[in-house]
Structure 1
Amino acid sequence: MFDSKALRAANLQKHWQQLRTLEQALNQAAIIVITDHRGTITYANDAFVKISGYRRDELVGSNHRLVKSGYHDPAFYRQMWRTISSGKVWRDEVCNRTKNGELYWVDTTIVPLLGKNGKPEQYVSIRFDITEKKRLESLVMLDPLTGIGNRRFAEQKIHELIASGQAGDQAALVLIDLDKFKQVNDALGHEAGDLLLKRVAERLQEVKGSNDLLARLAGDEFLIFMPGIGDHSQLKRKLALLKRAFRRPFELQSYRITVWPSMGAALYPRHGRSVRELLRRADFALYLAKEKSSDEVEWFDWHADIQPNPFVLEQEMVTGLKQRQFFLLYQPQVHLRSKVLLGFEALLRWRHPRWGIISPKVFLEVAEKSGFIIQLGEWVLTQAMREMGKLTAEQGYYLSVNLSMRQFYQQHLPELILHIAQETGFQLSQLTLEVTETMLGHTDQAARQLQDLHQLGVRVSLDDFGTGYSSLSRISHYPLQELKIDRTFVQQIGTEKGDALVKTIINLARHLDLDVIAEGIEKPQQLRFLRRHYCQAGQGFLFAPPLSLDDLKNVIRS
């Protein structure tokens, strides 16, 4: 009869071998540290020794203050200890410092091992090196021209300040736009324009408060977020300091240039409790400020207070559609090598009788939230197909129209588009619908909708590619025909990081057998780079601004 002791011994040996294999695999893949209940290190694997730069005998017996970087505030560590000392698992991303002073990032999970009394006796920390991931993230958070943060950086940091309460009881978001910046570019060239933007960023760095956040959003537009603003008078004093920064001329090569700022501001929480609301209202204020003459450079007006609330704006949109206040402009899209005209993108505008031209950034979000975008979007499709039907049919031009999230997920969108095409006589093979990465989140529904549009002969373009979080494997399975490079990436052409990003997107499009078009082309060097790397098409002010239908016809005739 088989010896039961021998059987148990064999099973134990088998389980022990499995545990050893698991331990070896974990040690190969992860950074493992074990501490006692006080946080004193009792075990450090080879991966921790390697990444920290300390010898094992230097690590064992010490604690994690040895690798503390100073990046995280004390509250971060207090929250960690509260969690693990209560017996719960804690996870976050931690920035540490090596023995030679270099920073590195680890995705950290700390698991408490509880004793018989239910309290932690040891802590096992399992970490994965994410330094490269954080480095790549920083590429899209930095404005390569000026070295300050970009729009994504500003939005994320402001959100964090508000969420953590560090924005204070009141904060101000200020948008700064340079008057006559285009004249500097036209007169002195884009290199001088770029140098001016660098000088402005340096000047703003000098005068902003130590806790203020500075970013360049796009073009000649800057943002300063001022947490802890006491009252309106304090804000006006800080704005006066900003305006004084522009009184001294800027040295550009052999020129001394004076430029003046327009400013628009919004207060948190008075004008909005989210980054999106604050940006929208500050942008509205900036638009009104830009309408004033440059003689009033010392003046700042609190315009955001007069912005209509979403309910009023929605009602005005309903009226505006009935009264034909909305209109379309068309921006030409060209073949980059031959400069042959390929088609046009339809862009919606609103001319309000009392407020003047209202930025789409102001009203489209309200239309989307309220559901009015369905009616407004149908009008855009109908008007664009009616106005451009003859041009596309006779000369083979494409018409591109943007879809919103609500439009895209309309149950009968393909039938609606087919009906509009039959009503207007538009050839659907000449229609391109632009969708964004965020619209593709509902995978199955998105795939069905795209397939139905594809069967109609409609082309689909993935707009603003690179700014969302779509899985590449997911994109490769959608019936797309085109990728559109976002203007923020085009503006970074000429920098090492920007060049790498744009080349990657172009190569990805070619790998997926998709056409690629770049938007926001404003400089000859951007055009040369895109041509050199086989980007087929593009649009931007280098070729033409958005044009009315009459102006567009004149351009085509000429």
Structure 2
Amino acid sequence: MDSVLRVQGRIGQRTLLMTTAALPLTGWTVHTIAMHRRLAASSRDPLTGALRRDSFEPRIQRFLTRYGDQALLAVCDVNDFKQYNDRFGHDVGDLILARTAARVIQWAGSHGIVGRLGGDGGDEFIVAARIAPGRRTIRMTQLHQALREPITTEHGQVLPVAVAIGHATPDVIGTRDRSRLMRAADGAMYESKETGAAVQATIEHANAASVNGRRAGRLGTAHPVVSAA
């Protein structure tokens, strides 16, 4: 009888030790999951769901290094964005940004990378997507068309939207460097404002003079915002 009790006692103590050891582990697991969720949330812009600059820059560079000539880097800018805020209020401006980001994210797909440029007040997005050279034209046409779809507010206002798009690829620019490709795409984006079409960046865009990191020269606007009835 005593031997049975001693065995049961040893089993009970072992079970208690295992249970006690498991409790901190479970608590730490919950804490770790919560921490990862907070980190993931902090890496994304809360309005649009796009990545913040300190998160998207290293990811895009890895993306470019990995996919090379199949990688495409695009800069998308909402034309005359300030007028939405001035005419319709900041809630409408926020809606424009959120819908535009959602469209870009959907176009980029699950393996694409979408970031918001310019911080909380930025109306530009950068996107990296894997696209075979032979499909660039059709894919950029699809993005351009998607971003031109009117946006309806909760009050039923139908607002026309135009987004300038410039895109750069390593094979055309001759580099996989994120900064240089961004510069080229940015220059092409400003040309897009004047032409109304998505523009493929060339070496000239990458080498264009800039002011404060942005392309110098006249920044035309092809699609002014019009008042909704």
SS in 2 for 1:245: helix
> What is aligned with 1:220?
123
Q: Which amino acid aligns with 1:250?
A: I
- The answer to whether the 8 Å contact 1:179/1:260 transfers is yes
Q: Which amino acid aligns with 1:210?
A: S
Q: Which protein is richer in strand relative to its size? A: 1
Give, in whole Å, the separation in 1 of the partners of 2:22 and 2:58: 31
Q: How does 1:406-425 map to 2 (within 5 A)?
A: none
Give, in whole Å, the separation in 2 of the partners of 1:205 and 1:147: 9
Structure 1 residue 300 corresponds to structure 2 residue 228: no
> What is aligned with 2:140?
239
> What is aligned with 2:167?
265
> What is aligned with 2:95?
195
**1:32-83 deviation digits (Å, cap 9, x = unpaired):** xxxxxxxxxxxx8966652347xxxxxxxxxxxxxxxxxxxxxxxxxxxxxx
Q: TM-score, normalised by structure 2?
A: 0.71
SS in 1 for 2:198: coil
* From 96, 104, 116, the counterpart of 1:204: 104
Q: TM-score, normalised by structure 1?
A: 0.31
After superposition, the CA RMSD in angstroms is 3.1
Q: Unaligned regions of 5+ residues in structure 2, if any?
A: 1-17, 216-229
- The answer to whether the 8 Å contact 1:214/1:222 transfers is yes
> What is aligned with 2:79?
179
Identity of aligned residues (%): 30
Give, in whole Å, the separation in 2 of the partners of 1:142 and 1:177: 18
1:193 deviates by: 0.4
Q: Which amino acid aligns with 2:191?
A: L
> What is aligned with 1:28?
none
> What is aligned with 1:282?
185
**1:422-445 deviation digits (Å, cap 9, x = unpaired):** xxxxxxxxxxxxxxxxxxxxxxxx
Q: How does 1:313-324 map to 2 (within 5 A)?
A: none
- The answer to whether the 8 Å contact 1:288/1:303 transfers is no
- The answer to whether the 8 Å contact 1:181/1:259 transfers is no
> Judging changes above 3 Å, is the alpha-carbon distance between structure 1 residues 308 and 270 closer, same or farther for their aligned structure 2 residues?
closer
> What is aligned with 2:32?
104
Structure 1 residue 142 corresponds to structure 2 residue 40: no
> Judging changes above 3 Å, is the alpha-carbon distance between structure 1 residues 247 and 302 closer, same or farther for their aligned structure 2 residues?
closer
Give, in whole Å, the separation in 2 of the partners of 1:168 and 1:49: 47
> What is aligned with 2:9?
none
Give, in whole Å, the separation in 1 of the partners of 2:132 and 2:42: 33
> Judging changes above 3 Å, is the alpha-carbon distance between structure 1 residues 50 and 280 closer, same or farther for their aligned structure 2 residues?
same
1:264 deviates by: 1.0
Give, in whole Å, the separation in 2 of the partners of 1:358 and 1:49: 58
SS in 2 for 1:104: helix
SS in 1 for 2:96: helix
Structure with the larger RCO, 1 or 2 (CA within 8 Å, 6+ apart): 2
Structure 1 residue 249 corresponds to structure 2 residue 223: no
Q: Which amino acid aligns with 1:104?
A: T
- The answer to whether the 8 Å contact 2:147/2:161 transfers is yes
Give, in whole Å, the separation in 2 of the partners of 1:362 and 1:199: 25
1:248 deviates by: 2.7
1:142 deviates by: 0.8
Q: Which protein is richer in helix relative to its size? A: 2
Give, in whole Å, the separation in 1 of the partners of 2:37 and 2:110: 25
- The answer to whether the 8 Å contact 2:181/2:206 transfers is no
Structure 1 residue 51 corresponds to structure 2 residue 22: no
**1:300-355 deviation digits (Å, cap 9, x = unpaired):** 2323332364xxxxxxxxxxxxxxxxxxxxxxxxxxxxxxxxxxxxxxxxxxxxx6
- The answer to whether the 8 Å contact 1:180/1:259 transfers is no
- The answer to whether the 8 Å contact 2:148/2:163 transfers is no
Q: Unaligned regions of 5+ residues in structure 1, if any?
A: 1-43, 54-96, 106-130, 310-354, 364-558
Number of residues of Structure 1 aligned to a counterpart in Structure 2: 194
